[in-house]
């Protein structure tokens, strides 16, 4: 019995100590008052909040501590609790006397009646807490909640508007395309002869149809941008060739206004990884704007400069310039600059908005410098390459450590172009695909670099980016062999596994010791990138249907139909496949300029198409032919045909 009593005493002392620790260390004020309102207990936090010690507070009343108005309110609350026997729980009050400059002070008060063993109220127990931050947050929430609702409504209205614009634009697009086709039947005199006066009227009508089509395309683009529904189809292009291919068209357009258009290009080739069609859209918009706002006998310069890790393209003119008040909003939707010339205010003010979105989607920047009356200078940048971005920090640290020791380092990246779209078309598990590709790269390294040990390599597989990277000591002789082995073995892998609808387009770009390297700014860092892509397109295509005579290297000839045509190549429909990389000769008619053209080409990709349905049995091949060795005359003929050809 004594042991139990001792245990109980010990337990009671332990609980008392726990309670004392809790009361003394809690940041809230805890206090007890008697029936006369005198403080009989207050913890350290409560006394500190009053600027006193607990000993200085004991025995005093609220009249002794607080300003009269506040003391009267506190005493009234205590008396109410004592008389009613009902507690006040977490009541929040603003305390003006204690408010800091510019900020309100709020106290949460809990008052509980204290009873003796007979049930008689003998005082109150109180807890006070500073809830100023909480109240500030609640006030802000109450203030911004209506605005948040309005923003959500605006977002919903924007979405509905974008969907409406997209739907209407699509509905207008189809009949407009039919009108265009019917128009061309008349213009080409297919429906009967026309005189010069009628032709002149048709040209004006055609210009307005083109303008309307352009507006519809802009509306569709802006609805895709607002709805975040547009994506890029990346390809590897040589920027110089890409810009110069369209130069004759723009120079001819500028010459019609007696404007000189000049291209200033760097000497070295510039390989960039972009969506060619979208970059062409950017260039076209900027050059067209420059021509529109440059007076006769003016000058426009298109310049390309290679920066540290980017390519910068500039379109500079000495035209009317942009007023200072319009510069900050030039890229906003539906904004047209105030030139004072109403004839120049064509379009709906979406061109530069779309251009900005396309540049930023590529990871670049765009800006303008202008002075009214002196001309404008539009610049945009595109990433030079993004090789090192796919490497984890530990690998980048190891590369820098090797470079600091003056060692030459090679980085070879095998990248899948448009990986998200690519993986959706695979009949093979993505992890297995990259495991197999990793093994191909590993074995190619062993075969090419026989003098290196396995520890000399760093392998990185990045499923998210669709990349396999390998870092190794630079070897001038073995590196090209290594890359060729990878290209050939990856190509064989795809052929062996019969991955449906996957077109091999292995590109290669090399950054030599004179190239820019971004993070690894060293003459000893060498980068090569190999690309796997599904039918990489470098040029804008038009639907094109004509018979083509194809001469194979064996002397055999065949006749094929075409599906589309671009400045870079042609897509054929055949009953039998051609070998990848096979050299062929092509002879076909250019329908609009009514001339025959003979060109050389290389088989870039082959796709087997099977459609065995209830109504039809189709079994044919789509073959992409890349033009090779086009001379100036052939290129001009193709460019002229494509400008005249209407889908």
The CA distances from residue 374 to 86, 337, 339, 556, in Å, are 81, 15, 13, 61
Residues 274, 536: Cα–Cα separation, whole Å: 11
Residues 516, 526: Cα–Cα separation, whole Å: 10
Residues 511, 367: Cα–Cα separation, whole Å: 28
Q: What is the rounded average pLDDT of the residues 309-322?
A: 90
Q: What is the rounded average pLDDT of the residues 632-642?
A: 85
pLDDT tens digits, one per residue of 13-38: 888 888 888 888 899 999 999 999 99
pLDDT higher for 93 or 411? 93
Cα–Cα–Cα angle for 278, 507, 442, nearest 5°?
130
Is residue 175 in a domain? no
- Quick check: 250 pLDDT over 80? yes
- Quick check: 59 pLDDT over 90? yes
Tell how far CA 627 is from the center of its chain.
32
Token pair 């004179």 is found at 514
Letter string b/e over residues 250-269, b meaning 16 or more CB atoms within 10 A of that residue's CB? bbeebeeeebebeeebeeee
Residues 542, 589: Cα–Cα separation, whole Å: 15
* CATH code, 567: 2.40.10.220
Please give the span between the terminal C-alpha atoms of the chain, in angstroms, as a whole number: 105
Residues 396, 399: Cα–Cα separation, whole Å: 5
Is residue 278 in a domain? yes
- Percent of the chain residues topping a pLDDT of 70: 82
257 and 361 together in one domain: yes
Residues 357, 225: Cα–Cα separation, whole Å: 7
Reported as a pLDDT band with limits 50, 70 and 90, residue 421 is low
69 and 131 together in one domain: yes
Task: Specify whether the CB–CB gap between 570 and 634 falls below 8 A.
Answer: no
Residues 124, 82: Cα–Cα separation, whole Å: 7
- Quick check: 530 pLDDT over 50? yes
pLDDT higher for 121 or 441? 121
pLDDT tens digits, one per residue of 574-632: 888 888 778 999 999 998 888 899 999 988 777 767 654 444 456 788 888 888 888 88
* CATH code, 286: 3.30.565.10
For residue 34, what are its two tokens? 């008697």
Residues 539, 59: Cα–Cα separation, whole Å: 91
Is residue 469 in a domain? yes
346 and 399 together in one domain: no
- Quick check: 497 pLDDT over 80? no
- Structural domain including 129 reads 19-136
Per-residue pLDDT, 37:
92
Is residue 112 in a domain? yes
- Quick check: 306 pLDDT over 90? no
Q: Which of 349-353, 365-369, 643-647 has the highest mean pLDDT?
A: 365-369
CB atoms within 10 A of CB 16: 10
Q: What is the rounded average pLDDT of the residues 303-314?
A: 85
263 and 375 together in one domain: yes
Per-residue pLDDT, 77:
92
The CA distances from residue 251 to 185, 244, 259, 378, 461, in Å, are 29, 10, 8, 18, 46
Kind of pairing between the strands at 547-552 and 557-565:
antiparallel
Element (H, E) at 32: strand 29-34
What are the DSSP calls for 333-395, one per residue?
A: TT-----S-GGG--S-S-HHHHHHHHHHHTT--EEEEEETTTEEEEEEEEES--TGGGS-HHH
Task: Specify whether the CB–CB gap between 589 and 637 falls below 8 A.
Answer: no
478 and 379 together in one domain: no
* CATH code, 124: 3.30.450.20
Per-residue pLDDT, 43:
93
Residues 403, 396: Cα–Cα separation, whole Å: 11
Cα–Cα–Cα angle for 153, 156, 157, nearest 5°?
85
Is residue 446 in a domain? yes
Residues near 91 by beta carbon (within 8 Å), at least 6 away in sequence = 108, 109, 110
DSSP E strands, 533-594: 542-543, 547-552, 557-565, 569-574, 583-590
* Secondary structure of 169-219 as H, E, C letters: HHHHHHHHHHHHHHHHHHHCCCCCCCCHHHHHHHHHHHHHHHHHHHHHHHH
Per-residue pLDDT, 276:
85
**CA dihedral in degrees (334, 335, 341, 342; nearest 10)?**
20
Reported as a pLDDT band with limits 50, 70 and 90, residue 504 is very low
551 and 491 together in one domain: no
Any idea how long the chain is?
A: 647
Q: At what angle do helices 196-226 and 351-361 cross, to 10 degrees?
A: 50
The CA distances from residue 489 to 174, 441, 451, 501, 580, in Å, are 45, 9, 21, 19, 14
CB atoms within 10 A of CB 618: 9
Least confident of 64-68, 463-467, 504-508, 630-634: 504-508
Is residue 489 in a domain? yes
Choose one of 531, 565, 580: the last residue of a domain. 531
- Quick check: 499 pLDDT over 60? no
Domain tally for the chain?
A: 4
Tell how far CA 455 is from the center of its chain.
37
pLDDT tens digits, one per residue of 337-350: 655 554 455 667 88
Choose one of 357, 383, 409: the last residue of a domain. 383
Is residue 603 in a domain? yes
pLDDT tens digits, one per residue of 104-117: 788 899 999 999 98
Q: What is the rounded average pLDDT of the residues 111-139?
A: 90
476 and 499 together in one domain: yes
Per-residue pLDDT, 60:
93
The mean pLDDT value of the chain amounts to 80
Per-residue pLDDT, 342:
43
304 and 347 together in one domain: yes
Element (H, E) at 354: helix 351-361
Per-residue pLDDT, 41:
94
Reported as a pLDDT band with limits 50, 70 and 90, residue 642 is confident
297 and 356 together in one domain: yes
- Quick check: 50 pLDDT over 60? yes
Per-residue pLDDT, 30:
94
378 and 401 together in one domain: no
240 and 363 together in one domain: yes
Q: Please state whether 343 falls in left (phi above 0), alpha (psi between -120 and 50) or beta.
A: alpha
Per-residue pLDDT, 229:
72
Choose one of 136, 168, 188: the last residue of a domain. 136
Helix, strand or coil, per DSSP, at residue 243: helix
- Quick check: 646 pLDDT over 50? no
Helix, strand or coil, per DSSP, at residue 400: helix
pLDDT higher for 102 or 639? 639
Q: Would you say the pTM of this structure is higher than 0.75?
A: no
* CATH code, 500: 3.30.70.270
Reported as a pLDDT band with limits 50, 70 and 90, residue 514 is very low
Is residue 277 in a domain? yes
Q: What is the rounded average pLDDT of the residues 483-512?
A: 65
311 and 337 together in one domain: yes
Residues near 465 by beta carbon (within 8 Å), at least 6 away in sequence = 390, 415, 419
Is the CA virtual torsion 517, 519, 523, 528 positive or negative?
Answer: negative
Least confident of 244-248, 429-433, 511-515: 511-515
Per-residue pLDDT, 49:
87
């Amino acid at each position: 019995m004594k042991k139990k009593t001792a245990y109980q005493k010990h337990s009671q002392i332990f609980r008392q100590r726990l309670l004392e620790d809790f009361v003394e260390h809690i940041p809230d004020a805890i206090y007890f008052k008697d029936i006369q309102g005198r403080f009989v207990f207050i913890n350290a936090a409560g006394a500190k909040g009053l600027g006193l010690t607990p000993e200085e507070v004991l025995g005093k009343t609220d009249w002794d501590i607080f300003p009269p108005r506040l003391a009267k309110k506190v005493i009234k609350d205590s008396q109410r609790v004592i008389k009613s026997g009902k507690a006040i729980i977490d009541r929040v009050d603003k305390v003006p006397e204690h408010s800091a400059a510019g900020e309100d002070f709020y106290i949460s008060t809990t008052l509980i009646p204290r009873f003796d063993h007979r049930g008689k109220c003998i005082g109150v127990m109180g807890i006070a807490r500073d809830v100023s931050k909480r109240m500030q947050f609640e006030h802000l929430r109450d203030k911004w909640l209506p605005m948040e609702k309005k923003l959500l409504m605006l977002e919903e209205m924007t979405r509905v508007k974008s969907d409406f614009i997209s739907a209407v634009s699509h509905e207008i697009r189809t009949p407009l395309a039919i009108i265009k086709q019917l128009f061309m039947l008349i213009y080409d005199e297919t429906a009967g002869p026309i005189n010069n006066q009628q032709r002149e009227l048709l040209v004006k009508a055609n210009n307005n149809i083109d303008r309307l089509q352009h507006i519809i395309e802009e509306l569709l683009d802006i609805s895709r941008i607002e709805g975040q529904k547009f994506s890029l189809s990346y390809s590897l292009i040589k920027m110089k060739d890409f810009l110069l291919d369209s130069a004759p068209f723009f120079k001819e357009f500028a010459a019609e206004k007696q404007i000189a258009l000049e291209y200033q290009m760097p000497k070295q080739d510039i390989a960039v990884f972009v969506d060619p069609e979208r970059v062409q859209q950017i260039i076209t918009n900027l050059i067209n704007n420059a021509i529109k706002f440059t007076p006769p006998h003016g000058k426009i310069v298109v310049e390309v400069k290679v920066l540290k890790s980017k390519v910068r393209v500039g379109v500079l003119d000495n035209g009317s310039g942009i007023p200072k008040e319009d510069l900050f909003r030039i890229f906003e939707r539906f904004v047209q600059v105030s030139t004072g010339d109403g004839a120049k205010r064509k379009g709906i003010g979406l061109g530069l908005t779309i251009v900005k979105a396309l540049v930023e989607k590529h990871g670049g920047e765009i800006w303008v410098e202008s002075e009214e009356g002196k001309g404008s200078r539009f610049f945009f940048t595109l990433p030079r390459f993004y090789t090192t971005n796919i490497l984890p920090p530990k690998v980048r640290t190891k590369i820098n450590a090797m470079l600091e020791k003056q060692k030459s380092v090679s980085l070879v990246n095998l990248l899948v172009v448009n990986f998200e779209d690519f993986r959706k078309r695979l009949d093979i598990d993505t992890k297995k695909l990259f495991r197999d590709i990793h093994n191909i790269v590993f074995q190619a390294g062993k075969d090419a670099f026989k003098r290196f040990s396995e520890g000399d390599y760093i392998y990185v597989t990045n499923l998210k980016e669709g990349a396999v990277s390998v870092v190794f000591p630079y070897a001038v002789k073995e590196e090209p062999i290594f890359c060729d082995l990878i290209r050939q073995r990856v190509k064989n892998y795809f052929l062996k596994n019969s991955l449906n609808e996957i077109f091999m387009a292995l590109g290669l770009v090399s950054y030599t010791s004179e190239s820019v390297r971004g993070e690894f700014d060293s003459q000893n860092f060498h980068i090569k990138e190999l690309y796997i892509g599904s039918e990489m397109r470098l040029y804008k295509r038009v639907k094109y249907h004509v018979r083509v005579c194809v001469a194979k290297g064996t002397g055999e000839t065949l006749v094929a139909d075409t599906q589309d045509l671009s400045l870079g190549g042609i897509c054929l429909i055949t009953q039998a496949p051609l070998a990848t990389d096979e050299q062929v000769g092509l002879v076909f008619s250019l329908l609009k300029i009514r001339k025959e053209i003979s060109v050389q080409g290389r088989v870039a990709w082959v796709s087997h198409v099977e459609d065995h349905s209830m109504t039809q049995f189709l079994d044919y091949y789509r073959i992409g032919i890349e033009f090779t060795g086009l001379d100036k005359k052939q290129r001009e003929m193709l460019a002229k045909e494509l400008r005249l050809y209407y889908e």
